[in-house]
């Protein structure tokens, strides 16, 4: 199936472009270009108001119920027949979702702070949740009123998700008490709710005995959020400590003990239409590096010039690969892992190239120390430091290669050692 834009898509593009131009004024204009990777701390209040503006425009959730799911547990299509109008969401085809993502990225609209709820939790509820759960949580996400965070990774079990040790014990009244620690939890300090993968079957190991729970973050004394300061000086990642935090039995998605299947289905939603929008941001960053090479005179170096051309060519390949994947309904085996391997390494190399074209000046901070924080970074320095994590977060390169080897190529599974803390 070819992925092509038709007349209806271009009409949709004009509509999206006009809406963005009309709304990105006043306080929202000051948030243009703010809140992207490495700068999620910028203009938080304005960006949260922007989420509500998107909700009023019907732009949140336009992808709900379209395309094929990535339910690795059943292999079936999910999210079909969703009445998006009931949630105040615009109707949009897959190609129109791409158009919206591209237009949003081109105008450098404010970085989204509600994307975890919209792009991860909502499709998961549509695929695995009950009608009651959908009716309870989807409307607030569509209005841009509720922010979510993801409680997956743990110390000692970051990429090895099945090695988690957080527990959820059910009381007689049906309430689960969640105890444990999560780490690298994006935007937990701003989130209203968290979806948590926890062990509900005592003595279970690996992917058995896990459940997918939804719990409110406003539980003083039961939930503690500690920011993790990164190389960039920012701290959008957090440690989250649960000390008997409460989750209702009605908020277990997919039923008790089925958490692994639900969690794997959610991970499949992480890489879809948003990949193309991400590449528009990459194009802007590459342009900035090229301009810096011209300014510094290093573009005359044949080795650096070759690296710049290679970055451009690889970016084009990534776009064609993303379009090919979407053209097949997102159902290409191993496509999410291939995409993550491609963009993670590419972006990391771009950060290294940004420092190379600047030369020794790359290590120099602001010249006016009276007005700048000693830890203030410019855009290229932030790109370099933040991209060091690109091949780790969202599933490390090693994990992605294992997935491709085992699930696509059919190679023998890697032998697993004992779970930490067990014989």
Q: How many CB atoms lie within 10 A of CB 133?
A: 19
pLDDT at 54: 94
User: Cβ-count burial of 408 within 10 angstroms (0-12 exposed, 13-18 middle, 19+ buried)?
Assistant: middle
52 — pLDDT class (breaks 50, 70, 90): very high
User: Per-domain residue ranges for the chain?
Assistant: 7-113+133-145, 151-258, 274-408
pLDDT at 237: 80
Query: Residue 165: how many CA atoms within 13 Å on its side-chain side?
Result: 13
Residue with tokens 């010249």: 367
Active site residue 270: yes
Average pLDDT, the chain: 82
Q: How far apart are CA 300 and CA 313, in angstroms?
A: 19
Task: Check if 7-113+133-145 and 151-258 are the same fold.
Answer: no
CATH number of 151-258: 2.40.110.10
Taking every pair of Cα atoms in the chain, the longest distance, rounded to a whole number of angstroms, is 72
Q: What is the pTM of this model?
A: 0.79
Which tens digit of pLDDT belongs to each residue from 82-131? 666 677 788 888 888 888 888 888 888 888 888 889 988 998 999 899 99
Which tens digit of pLDDT belongs to each residue from 228-284? 887 777 777 889 999 999 999 999 998 888 888 888 877 766 555 567 767 878 888
pLDDT at 147: 93
Nearest to 121 by CA among 101, 94, 140: 140
Q: Which of 102, 118, 154, 270 is catalytic?
A: 270
For residue 71, pLDDT over 60 is answered with no
40 — pLDDT class (breaks 50, 70, 90): low
Q: How far apart are CA 146 and CA 302, in angstroms?
A: 51
CATH class of 274-408: mainly alpha
- 7-113+133-145, what's its fold? Butyryl-Coa Dehydrogenase, subunit A; domain 1 (1.10.540)
User: Cβ-count burial of 109 within 10 angstroms (0-12 exposed, 13-18 middle, 19+ buried)?
Assistant: buried
Question: First vs last Cα of the chain: how many Å apart?
Answer: 50
Q: Which residues contact 419 (CB under 8 A, 6 or more apart)?
A: 163, 205, 206
pLDDT at 1: 43
Which tens digit of pLDDT belongs to each residue from 184-220? 888 888 899 999 999 998 888 888 889 999 999 999 9
pLDDT at 353: 96
User: Cβ-count burial of 303 within 10 angstroms (0-12 exposed, 13-18 middle, 19+ buried)?
Assistant: exposed
392 — pLDDT class (breaks 50, 70, 90): confident
pLDDT at 422: 46
Q: How far apart are CA 117 and CA 60, in angstroms?
A: 10
The tokens describing 225, both together, are 């959020």
Name the β-bridge partners of 247: 176
Nearest to 109 by CA among 53, 29, 43: 29
């Amino acid at each position: 199936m070819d992925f092509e834009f038709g007349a209806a898509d271009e009409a949709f593009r004009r509509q999206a472009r006009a809406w963005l131009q009309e709304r990105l004024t006043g306080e929202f204009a000051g948030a243009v270009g703010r809140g992207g990777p490495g700068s999620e701390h910028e203009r938080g209040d304005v960006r949260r108001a922007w989420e509500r503006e998107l909700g009023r425009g019907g732009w949140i959730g336009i992808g709900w119920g379209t395309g094929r799911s990535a339910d690795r547990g059943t292999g079936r299509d999910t999210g079909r027949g969703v009445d998006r109008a009931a949630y105040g969401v615009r109707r949009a085809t897959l190609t129109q979702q791409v158009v919206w993502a591209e237009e949003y990225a081109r105008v450098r609209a404010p970085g989204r702070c509600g994307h975890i709820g919209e792009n991860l939790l909502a499709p998961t509820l549509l695929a695995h949740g009950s009608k009651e759960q959908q009716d309870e949580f989807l409307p607030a996400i569509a209005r841009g009123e509720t922010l979510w965070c993801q409680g997956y990774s743990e110390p000692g079990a970051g990429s090895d998700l099945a090695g988690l040790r957080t527990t959820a014990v059910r009381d007689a009244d049906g309430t689960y008490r969640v105890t444990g620690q999560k780490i690298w939890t994006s935007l937990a300090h701003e989130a209203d709710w968290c979806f948590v993968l926890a062990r509900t079957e005592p003595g279970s190991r690996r992917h058995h005995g896990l459940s997918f729970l939804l719990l409110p973050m406003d539980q003083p004394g039961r939930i503690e959020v500690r920011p993790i300061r990164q190389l960039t000086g920012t701290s959008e990642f957090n440690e989250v400590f649960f000390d008997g935090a409460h989750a209702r039995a009605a908020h277990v998605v997919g039923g008790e003990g089925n958490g692994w299947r639900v969690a794997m289905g959610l991970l499949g939603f992480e890489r879809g239409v948003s990949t193309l929008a991400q590449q528009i941001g990459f194009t802007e960053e590459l342009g900035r590096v090229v301009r810096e090479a011209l300014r510094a005179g290093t573009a005359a170096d044949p080795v650096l010039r070759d690296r710049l051309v290679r970055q451009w060519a690889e970016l084009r390949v990534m776009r064609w690969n993303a379009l090919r994947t979407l053209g097949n309904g997102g159902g290409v085996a191993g496509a999410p892992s291939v995409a993550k391997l491609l963009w993670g390494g590419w972006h990391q190399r771009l950060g290294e190239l940004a420092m190379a074209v600047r030369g020794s000046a790359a290590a120099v901070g602001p010249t006016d120390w009276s007005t700048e924080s000693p830890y203030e970074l410019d855009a290229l320095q932030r790109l370099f430091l933040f991209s060091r994590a690109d091949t780790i977060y969202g599933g490390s390169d090693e994990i992605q290669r294992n997935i491709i080897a085992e699930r696509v190529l059919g190679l023998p599974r890697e032998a697993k050692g004992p779970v930490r803390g067990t014989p």
